[in-house]
């Protein structure tokens, strides 16, 4: 099964039944897609033309007049992007319809680094330089539209593609002025606005038809008719090399998380949380020193040749080049305030010597 993380399915039992039906078709060497019974002539979705359980044609986002025709004919469904298949079936179809893609993926797997995490789990790490050569193409274009073995399960599962803030707003109750709010907000003389706040107060005065999304990472303000333009903002951030396009202020790791509190030229301040009984890698940095202050819990610290316990309000200095690691030996969350100092403070300035999570 392949399912997207940003889809909403409200009719769980009907979805369960659709999955059972899809598995039966997949066992007959079909690539199975889920066709959504359309509730309106949407132009924002792709469509499937079907005959029984066979897909005749994939259609990209249509014009309004074509979408109207599809609805009236009755054998067209929205393409959900949910798939079910046997691995062997998919691989054979990739090999048949995209031998270059098949070869590139196989090379990535064959040259991957495999490390054992524990008695039951292992990690397969693909080489960035090799995997980046794999052709960037969707599964629809590469295989589904070309294969003769695509089947469909038509279904009514309460499906929604959460593809924009306008769609999200549909699931928030509206006030008398059709304003929809998640979080803290004060609104005056404003209509048809959606606010998503994650802490601080958002105020709107004398505006209409806006979407305001305030998170610790970034602030988005857009007209409701332009919510899809967030993709262009993302592309511009990526092109400029701004790390905001891929990295949050709070970053999660196997051992816990860290939040960047402040960053400026030459220094960075982090709040580090380490889960009970978890251990960071033994590492060093070539370009920065670090100061650690324990604000909650007990830290077991290795600093070059030293090994010591730090209690709440204790601190330690880690010079550039020192091997070091942090461990939480306790039963409660360990919280550290870390101040980094140096000319280069990015996360790739980490040289790992030992890591229980198999990271390089």
The answer to whether position 64 is within a domain reads yes
Q: Are residues 106 and 93 in the same domain?
A: yes
Rounded (10°) angle between helices 99-110 and 87-97: 130
Which of 127, 162, 197 is the last residue in one of the domains? 162
Q: Are residues 139 and 10 in the same domain?
A: yes
Q: Are residues 209 and 337 in the same domain?
A: no
Q: Name the domain count of the chain.
A: 3
State which residues of the chain have pLDDT below 70.
none
Q: Are residues 81 and 122 in the same domain?
A: yes
* Per-residue pLDDT at 40: 86
Q: Are residues 151 and 31 in the same domain?
A: yes
The answer to whether position 123 is within a domain reads yes
The answer to whether position 117 is within a domain reads yes
Distances (CA, A) of 5 to 82, 159, 170, 257: 11, 12, 18, 22
Q: Are residues 93 and 152 in the same domain?
A: yes
* Per-residue pLDDT at 78: 94
The answer to whether position 238 is within a domain reads no
Cα dihedral value 155, 159, 163, 165, nearest 10: 160
Q: Are residues 125 and 42 in the same domain?
A: yes
The answer to whether position 127 is within a domain reads yes
* Per-residue pLDDT at 290: 98
* Per-residue pLDDT at 119: 83
List the domain range (segments joined by +) for residue 183.
165-230
Q: Are residues 142 and 225 in the same domain?
A: no
The answer to whether position 62 is within a domain reads yes
Which of 125, 144, 162 is the last residue in one of the domains? 162
Q: Are residues 211 and 260 in the same domain?
A: no
Q: Are residues 28 and 142 in the same domain?
A: yes
Tokens of 196: 């998503």
Q: Are residues 218 and 325 in the same domain?
A: no
* Per-residue pLDDT at 95: 94
The answer to whether position 147 is within a domain reads yes
The answer to whether position 359 is within a domain reads no
Tokens of 215: 């998170």
* Per-residue pLDDT at 120: 85
pTM of the model: 0.70
Which of 140, 162, 184 is the last residue in one of the domains? 162
* Per-residue pLDDT at 22: 97
* Per-residue pLDDT at 228: 82
Q: Which residues contact 268 (CB under 8 A, 6 or more apart)?
A: 260, 262, 339, 340, 345
Q: Are residues 83 and 155 in the same domain?
A: yes
Separation between Cα atoms, residue 312 and residue 299, nearest integer Å: 9
């Amino acid at each position: 099964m392949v399912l997207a993380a940003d889809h909403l399915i409200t009719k769980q039992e009907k979805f369960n039944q659709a999955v059972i039906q899809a598995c039966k078709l997949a066992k007959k060497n079909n690539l199975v897609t889920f066709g959504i019974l359309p509730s309106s002539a949407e132009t924002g979705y792709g469509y499937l033309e079907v005959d029984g359980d066979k897909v005749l044609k994939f259609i990209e986002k249509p014009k309004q007049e074509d979408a109207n025709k599809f609805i009236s004919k009755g054998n067209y469904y929205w393409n959900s992007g949910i798939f079910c298949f046997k691995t062997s079936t998919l691989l054979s179809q990739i090999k048949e319809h995209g031998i270059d893609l098949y070869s590139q993926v196989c090379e990535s797997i064959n040259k991957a680094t495999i490390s054992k995490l524990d008695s039951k789990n292992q990690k397969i790490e693909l080489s960035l330089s090799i995997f980046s050569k794999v052709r960037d193409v969707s599964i629809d274009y590469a295989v589904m539209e070309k294969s003769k073995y695509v089947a469909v399960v038509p279904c009514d599962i309460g499906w929604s593609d959460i593809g924009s803030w306008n769609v999200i707003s549909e699931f928030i109750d509206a006030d008398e002025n059709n304003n929809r709010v998640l979080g803290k907000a004060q609104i005056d003389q404003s209509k048809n606005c959606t606010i998503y706040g994650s802490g601080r107060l958002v105020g709107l005065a004398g505006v209409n038809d806006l979407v305001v999304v305030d998170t610790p990472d970034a602030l988005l303000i857009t007209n409701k008719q332009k919510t899809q333009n967030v993709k262009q903002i993302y592309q511009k951030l990526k092109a400029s090399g701004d790390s905001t396009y891929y990295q949050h202020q709070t970053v999660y790791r196997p051992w816990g998380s860290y939040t960047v509190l402040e960053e400026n030229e030459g220094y960075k301040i982090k709040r580090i949380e380490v889960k009970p009984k978890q251990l960071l890698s033994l590492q060093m940095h070539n370009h920065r020193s670090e100061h650690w202050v324990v604000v909650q819990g007990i830290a077991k610290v290795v600093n070059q040749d030293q090994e010591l316990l730090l209690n709440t309000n204790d601190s330690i200095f880690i010079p550039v080049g020192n091997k070091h690691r942090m461990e939480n030996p306790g039963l409660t969350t360990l919280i550290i305030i870390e101040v980094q100092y140096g000319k280069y403070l990015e996360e790739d300035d980490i040289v790992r010597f030992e890591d229980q999570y198999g990271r390089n």
